Amino acid sequence: MAKVAAALSLSLLIFSFIPGGTLMMVNGQKSWCVAKPSSDQATLLANINFACSQVDCRVMQKGCPCFSPDNLMNHASVAMNLYYQAKGRNKWNCDFRGSGLVVITNPRYADCIYD
């Protein structure tokens, strides 16, 4: 009985990979990367520049689904999440020098899809 309980507890803590590189928790929760609300503007801009040098950030261009609201917090979160997804959704791919935050609630809004 104790072994079963220990195995069940451990399984709730272990992440598993599914085809396509999406990281999901055993209980089925996905994760996303967003900018910490306490991040300063210089950090947000640096995160956008870094992430967008590594991944395609066209969804943030004017007239595209993730352009609005047009502010650094929103654009940094979108760019950071694009990078996080592209790199395999590992927690270290959302660090951004301590300014990233892994969340389990989908941050999508309007037509801006974070999946």
Instruction: Give pLDDT tens digits for 42-89.
Output: 999 999 999 999 999 999 999 999 999 999 999 999 999 999 999 999
**Whether residue 52 sits in one domain with residue 12:** no
Range of the domain at 51: 31-115
Domain shared by 38 and 16, yes or no: no
Task: Judge if 49 and 22 occupy the same domain.
Answer: no
Query: In whole angstroms, what is the distance from residue 31 CA to residue 108 CA?
Result: 12
Judge whether residue 92 has pLDDT over 80: yes
**Spatial contact of 14 and 66, defined as CB atoms under 8 Å apart:** no
- Domain harbouring 114, CATH code: 1.20.58.1040
Q: Is the pTM of this model over 0.85?
A: no
Specify whether 39 is located in the same domain as 80: yes
Residue 24 has pLDDT above 60, yes or no: no
pLDDT at 102 (0 to 100): 95
111 and 62 co-located in one domain = yes
Phi, psi of 101 (to 5 degrees): -135, 120
- In order, the DSSP letters of 26-54 are TTS-B-EEEE-TT--HHHHHHHHHHHHHH
Please give the residue that has the higher pLDDT: either 3 or 104.
104
When divided into structural domains, the chain yields a total of 2
Q: What is the pLDDT of residue 114?
A: 87
Residues 5 and 58 grouped into a single domain: no
One domain, residues 6 and 41: no
Written as one letter, the residue type at 23 is L
